[in-house]
Amino acid sequence: MVQFRYSTPIGVPLTPDDAAGALRELQAAGRFASVTRDVLIDVVRVAVRDQALLVASGRWDPEHADPARFVPGDIAALRGMTTQPLLMPAIEFRIHDHGSKVTTVADVNRLLKDPPPISLLIDIYRATPHFIPLPATAALLATHPPDAQSVAAIRLPTAQTLVVFGADLPLDTSAYPWPAVAVDQLPRDAIPREMRTRGGAVTGVVLLADPDGKLRDECIWLLGANPDPELPFPDSLDHRRTALRGWRSAAQLRPLVETCAAAVAGAIWTPPPAGDGRPLPVNPLDARWATLRADDRFRRYERDGGAVRARTLDLAATSARAAALTGPVPPEAADGPAVRPGRFVSATDQPTPRPAAGVVWAPPSADPAMMRIARERLTLTALPVTPRGRARSHPQPPPVGDLDIDLQ
């Protein structure tokens, strides 16, 4: 288990000594074994196609701010923008036949020379995408994180699982502070420094599992530093997105990682929509993209996550199953409705047949305070977090933070 000198929201090393120690641990664990030519070629193809899907979606206009809330198909854009700094130095577009044909060429050998960042790229693209819509994201944040026994019981379905939230979750730096003494020594364009200076958001996380499905200490954060108003238009409108490898045991956001893992294992997920059998082009400049953009069936398929094979959390089905397994939610008190925090229940406590994933998620009570989330904006503070409101009278563990919800 790593030990870093400074505590950070996402459990990343900030000093040269800590970075060197983290690298040695990754090497000792064989974490760079996946960096092979064949694997990288497959990953680059998908990454280049993500750039094409970003444009085809029509939701990511370079002259407008990033979307305020996401749909499953936005995973392509978010993956693509997050990993673009790793790929772009090795990508080249070549024009043939006087402009009638354009091919995309990737210098794979160049990428293979630097395994640590490329292993991060590979982990992101080999991860099975899971999308949590905005109301379900709010419900997840209003859930008590799993206890140590429940975390130990979690069994993830794949070695890498990408979890993307329904919106960028602004990080409350009063709850999750960056150590100024260390961060201010970093280069000006380092994401931790930019997030401390201008603020930033958590977009998602890649969960890693061992061969038995148990949650590893490592994870990969998808992050966005807030737009820099000093940049020229339109760059001044966009989050600066990147991915950083962190360690759960060293992260202030450890409860969020474990909550996401428990949700992957303990919620009900809708499979990706089926396509029509047509393979998608890889090259962003392929003329077939224009035909696809004009096809309503493709637009629905892309929007709903079919092109990225994303699974989507079904909050209603998850709540119904939890009610059947754990019993009804305690009745509301006479002093008015409020959100009853959700919880994770060990599958060993449930009657047979037991869920195989180790835990069951019982989401918060579905009352008007939670359902208003469609018109609200979330800020990531200490978990569990619930909309402001009057609490129920039945006993609940005391909250350790609050969720700022600013009505738009």
pLDDT tens digits, residue range 335-357? 444 557 888 887 665 554 444 56
**Which pTM was predicted?**
0.85
Q: pLDDT tens for residues 32-77?
A: 998 899 999 899 989 989 999 999 999 998 888 899 999 999 999 9
The residue ranking higher by pLDDT, 92 or 354, is 92
Banded model confidence at residue 389, pLDDT cuts 50, 70, 90:
very low
Neighbours of 90 (CB within 10 A): 18
The helix/strand/coil state of 29 is: coil
Do residues 345 and 360 lie in contact, with contact meaning Cβ atoms separated by under 8 Å? yes
Burial of 159 (0-12, 13-18, 19+ CB in 10 A): middle
The residue ranking higher by pLDDT, 73 or 396, is 73
The rounded distance, in Å, linking the Cα atoms of 154 and 146 is 10
Q: Are strands 128-132 and 101-106 parallel, antiparallel or unpaired?
A: unpaired
DSSP run (H or E) holding 200: strand 200-209
Q: pLDDT tens for residues 311-323?
A: 999 999 998 888 8
The rounded distance, in Å, linking the Cα atoms of 222 and 215 is 18
Beta bridge partner(s), residue 171: 380
> Which pLDDT score, from 0 to 100, does residue 137 have?
93
Q: Decide if pLDDT at 120 tops 70.
A: yes
Burial of 296 (0-12, 13-18, 19+ CB in 10 A): exposed
Q: 198, 160, 143: which is closest to 362 by C-alpha?
A: 143
DSSP run (H or E) holding 150: helix 148-153
The rounded distance, in Å, linking the Cα atoms of 71 and 408 is 19
Q: What is the mean pLDDT of the chain?
A: 83
The residue ranking higher by pLDDT, 193 or 382, is 193
Provide the residue type at 302 as one letter.
E
> Which pLDDT score, from 0 to 100, does residue 1 have?
75
| Crossing angle of the two packed helices 37-57 and 74-87, in degrees rounded to 10 | 130
> Which pLDDT score, from 0 to 100, does residue 102 have?
54
Of the given ranges (67-71, 74-78, 271-275, 403-407), which has the lowest mean pLDDT? Answer: 403-407
Q: Decide if pLDDT at 126 tops 90.
A: yes
Return the sign of the alpha-carbon dihedral for residues 301, 303, 307, 309. negative
Do residues 354 and 378 lie in contact, with contact meaning Cβ atoms separated by under 8 Å? no
> Which pLDDT score, from 0 to 100, does residue 82 have?
93
Do residues 68 and 169 lie in contact, with contact meaning Cβ atoms separated by under 8 Å? no
3-state helix, strand, coil in the chain (%, to 5): 40, 20, 40
The rounded distance, in Å, linking the Cα atoms of 18 and 36 is 27
Q: 146, 136, 138, 169: which is closest to 312 by C-alpha?
A: 136
Percentage of the chain beyond pLDDT 70 is 81
Burial of 28 (0-12, 13-18, 19+ CB in 10 A): exposed
The helix/strand/coil state of 184 is: coil
Q: State mean pLDDT over 174-178.
A: 91
Banded model confidence at residue 235, pLDDT cuts 50, 70, 90:
confident
Q: State mean pLDDT over 104-112.
A: 78
